[in-house]
Structure 1
Amino acid sequence: PVVTTDTASIKGSSNLVTINRMLFLPGKYNVMVYAEDANNKAVSDTASYELNVRSFNSEYLSLSDIELCSEITPAASEADPYFKNTLHVVPNPQGLYGIGLPNISYYLEIYGLNNDSDRTHYNIIWDLTDSYGNKVKAGKADRIGSASNVVQVGEANISNIPTGKYDFSVTVSDLKGNRTATVAKNIFIYNPYVKAYQVSDSSNLDVVSSPFYTMGEAALDEEFAAARYLATPQEAETYQKLKSVDAKRRFMISFWRREDEIAGPDGFNTRRQFLERLNYVNQKYKTAFKAGWLTDRGRVYLHYGKPDDIERHPSSSNTKPYEIWYYNSLQGGVNFVFIDLTGFNDYVLIHSTLQGEVYNPDWQKYVQAEH
């Protein structure tokens, strides 16, 4: 066991944050932490968790877990109790940010960058996603170096983000090796004085010069319905209460402006990209009874984009037709399983490994054909 000695300077209202360094071979372990009040041994507690120590192969791009921190600065010396790779890294094990801690500081290690000609070129994208799957903030950095294994630290300001639970993810793309890896961690933000997201004031928007000026109410309703996965609950509620076509046009201008602001300079969720996807799914995945965007495959394509790979399994004497879509850069690699249950080309999402989507590890039984 590793013993952490308490200090007299710790106050009753303080959190004791400490680091213990141990070496493990790759494998799965069960870690138990025991804490005891030295002045009152009756006051104690125990916590345990599973620890998966991975091996990192330099032939593949891979990332360590994200270490959420409250402070990262250059270390004064290796004697610093929070010393880590020349840095003073103070962990934030609670993952709580907001009042008093307005920046998410993070530390991670990157392994397996392609360093042909002794140079590496990669970019880093961090995303903050709310519990409804809406991207609320993002950032990007481009890096050029020489080492194949590097340390990445960064900050994300969340002082204007409303209270709630969020998913903080970091994606690293090796531009020379054409490889991508993603890691994510849950955080909680407490900003009681920040209002929940609302559509901005649209009274001074130029409707006439916008693409919505010539759109009728039915077209506006259909576009917002198809883009519902991008909207916050407050935005969806606001749109439902709008009574006039002009109000809906102003709403849509403001709505897409917010998406552009969230996406940042690269415009990940702009209206143009959305309409391209919408046109594709309406042609590719429509059925005799549904528009393409109303099908499960259409929704997933609209939300997450083109999959990296698709396994197509036609019907046979023993199985119904089904498809498995793979997204390698979402949450470290996920898949979606769609099955044509009725034989009318309407593939239903039965199972996915993406957090927040339907999860059914026994999905294979639905593939079996009925006799």
Structure 2
Amino acid sequence: MGWIRCIAVLLIWSHAGGIGAQDLPLTSTGNLRFFVDLSAFRGPEGYTRQEVALLLDASQLQLREQAGESVGKISLVAVVLDTLDNRVAHRTWVQQVAVPELDVGIGAPFKDAVFFDLTPGAYRLIVQIKDIHAEESGRCTVPLHIPDYERRARLVFSDLQLASHVARSGEVHRFVKQGWKVVPNITRNYVIGEPLQIYFEVYNLSSSGESFIMGYRLIDAEGMVVRTYPAKRFLKPGESCVRAEVLDTEGLREGTYDLQVEAFDGSSRQYFQTRRPIFLVSKDLPEGLTQVQRDLIGYYADIRYIADEKTRRTYDALESWPARLAFLKVFWKQLDDVLDTPTNERLLQHLMRMHYVETHFGAGVRGSDTDRGRVYIQYGPPDDIDYRTSAAGQKPSEVWFYETARRYEFVFRDRRGTGVYELVHSSYPGEMSNPYWWREF
């Protein structure tokens, strides 16, 4: 399950739009897969507190029986280096992880967090997790840009921390800050219909005036505002404040969104906004299988084009999710021709192709059901495209060229003027051939 979950999230975020291209959860490399998400807040004077949240599927660990429980043990290392690779900060700790009876869809999610107080500037973060009972380990390296929250003249927010649970708390805990327990949602996936929970801090409110206004919006991958939440006015508790919000997701469609938060301080006439990407998944899918279901849709479409008829019939006859997942795991492993890397590059490549055709070639139909979609999925992106706009009495066409041992072409034409291009000729072996296609138009 772990490898499917990792590739699913990697696919989702590799195609996120807007600010998401620069601000995404991170995936480790190595045999042990985990996720990292980053959030920065104001720290002690002159410092910014960089929080590093971690998510590991503990079902990957080698487990041992202990007091009637299955237990794994991991060592964690987080290192911050400056631009000259000098060590600035370092944390090492060990965690014992109890793993309950596994759910085939959910696995055994384990969350942890560590923070560093750093002066503003550029750094590099390295996180490593090792299974103490095995030789498995994973590593994540990412550049850090630590913001400066001390400039008093301007209104500014901390990072928006996406959460799976937010509540007031007086306990001392790694997930508690400013009197709030904030359990991070590290992959930023939310089920449609369930609350979208966030925590953030507002800094540098002006001393004049009693209140300020805040608003929230969801913006889709095309840059369109799909939901505007009612603006709220809040009293100023001082020059800074903490906000924990729960936003409704009912009625939204599955996909990638930017959550935009904005504030206006009327007394100083200052306005500030920030965004962070999230992903909404369908509530109609079984709990815990939402990401896997997204994969299966892509896998199924893929099987139509690259598996033989016998394989497709075998897959279609499987009725349970566990059986289909087991089948697909073997199927994709057989197609992985780069065995010395932890990622199945062939699978990831094909998922990306599926995502592209579904978002670029659909016009009243699924992109994967079109001729262009089928060719793109089967052969990949063309090396060159000749776009031919419509002339009098003619329909627009596209000619795709592939450079392999020789130059092959695929000709598509919008016969009906609906935006759906049909294959009318190809020079590739086994494809339909009609070298005089142009005479028909």
Q: TM-score, normalised by structure 2?
A: 0.41
Q: Which has the higher strand share?
A: 2
Q: TM-score, normalised by structure 1?
A: 0.49
